[in-house]
Amino acid sequence: MATINSFPGSPFQRALAAGIEANVPTAVIGEPGQGKTATMESATSGWGRHCETVIGSNREATDFLGVMIEDKGAIKYSSFQWVKNLNNAAKGLLLLDEFNTSAPSTMKGMLRVVQEGYVGDTKLNDTVSIVALMNPIETAVDAYDLPAPMANRMMHLKWVFDTSNWLENVGTGFQNTKPLPLSEMLAADPLSRKAAVSAAVTTFLKVNSKFLTPPVPTDPVKAGGAWPSPRSWTNVINVLSRLDRYDEESAFLVVEGLVGEGAATEYFKWLAAADLHDPAEVIDGTVLVDWKNERADRLFALVQGVTTRPRSLTGPCWWTGRTNGPTACSPSSRVSRRWAFPVAVSCGARLPSSWPSAPRAASRMWLSPPRRSSRTTCPTTSGACHSASPTPSWNCSATPSTR
């Protein structure tokens, strides 16, 4: 197992790298004079990304919307050179400097840029990431707390000054410094990792629903930072998926930076106690599961993780019985109706109709849904599957019979 000290770079650097690679807008706050802008511009170049720095304090809303022009009898918004430069590059990074000193009207103009990547009528490529730099309001010029809608769109990180790097390279003007490659700081297989992360987050929120849609903070300081919402939890899944599963320090910075310290603390306390299975290890047979005696929440998270994995990574063999996975939904197991029924529906909905094993897999999901159902018998097995409608939702071509 990897240890905390075995990862390259600092937890801050890895959390920032994960946000950039996940294409989740990231706000970095740090005291003035510590080289935030120069460091980010240099690192971006070293990562092979084109960087465009836009300073919010000297921009207006139209600088993010464009001006109306006529084009072949239709009115559209013009684009900008910095947008074209980013889109013409293989990969890019939009650096929004002095972010919290932007005029309120300018901040409104940047809402769609930050969330959807639209500048006027032009869409930034998916290969363009966004990082905003700002000083604390106490030391910035005419700064203010971010509006709640903008703050909730972003991951919030505190800048960590690299003292040793500065001492070693200031004498040479930082000419020989190279940033750590993003790939070295992040998970090797983010697609597989995302299945486990998504399962953990959704299971946590199923038993702690108060953290999914709590009221927006009324305190402007808290509203201008990280707080829980469906959007920020989605970003948690996307960014955490980029980190190594054992990189706990960076993981906490990510979750704290997206949903706040309180929700992050509760999530990691629950995660440690839950001791969830890794779907990839169960699928490849590294870990064996006692399906009939396992805790319901662990099974829910596991099957959720399997159903969210790309089909190319899961394959039909998992459903045909090698690991006997779908029996997690059987009445003989300890999975309660509260846990099993949503999972079974999810399993069935995600089974590709092209898989010959789909009816067999569906037939193994013996469960009693919350309302009266009809029994159907699969033509390929001697088992039976239940559906809340005459036609099973998992496309099992069986003939209904009287229960």
Q: Could you state, in order of their start, the residue ranges of all structural domains in the chain?
A: 1-9+185-274, 25-64+76-153, 279-369
Q: What is the pLDDT of residue 272?
A: 86
- What are the pLDDT tens digits along the chain (403 aa)? 444 458 999 999 999 999 999 999 999 999 999 999 999 999 999 999 999 999 988 999 888 988 888 888 888 888 899 999 999 999 999 999 999 999 999 999 999 999 899 998 899 999 999 999 999 999 999 999 999 999 999 999 999 999 999 999 899 988 888 899 999 999 988 988 998 899 899 989 988 999 999 999 999 999 999 999 999 999 999 999 999 999 999 999 999 999 999 999 999 998 888 766 566 666 666 666 666 666 666 666 666 666 665 554 555 554 444 344 544 444 444 444 455 555 555 555 555 555 444 444 443 443 434 444 444 444 334 444 433 333 333 333 333 333 3
Written as one letter, the residue type at 134 is: M
Asked if residue 236 lies in contact with residue 24, where contact means CB atoms within 8 angstroms, the answer is: no
How far the first Cα of the chain sits from its last, in Å, is 51
Q: What is the pLDDT of residue 366?
A: 38
3 state SS for 36-76: HHHHHHHHHHHCCCEEEEEEHHHCCCHHHHCCEEEECCEEE
Q: What is the pLDDT of residue 346?
A: 55
Neighbouring C-alpha atoms within 13 Å toward the C-beta of 283: 24
| Architecture in CATH for domain 25-64+76-153 | 3-Layer(aba) Sandwich (3.40)
Q: Dihedral sign, CA of 287, 291, 293, 296?
A: positive
pTM as predicted: 0.73
**Residues in contact with 205: Cβ distance below 8 Å, sequence separation at least 6, in sequence order:** 211, 212, 233
Greatest Cα pair distance in the chain: 85
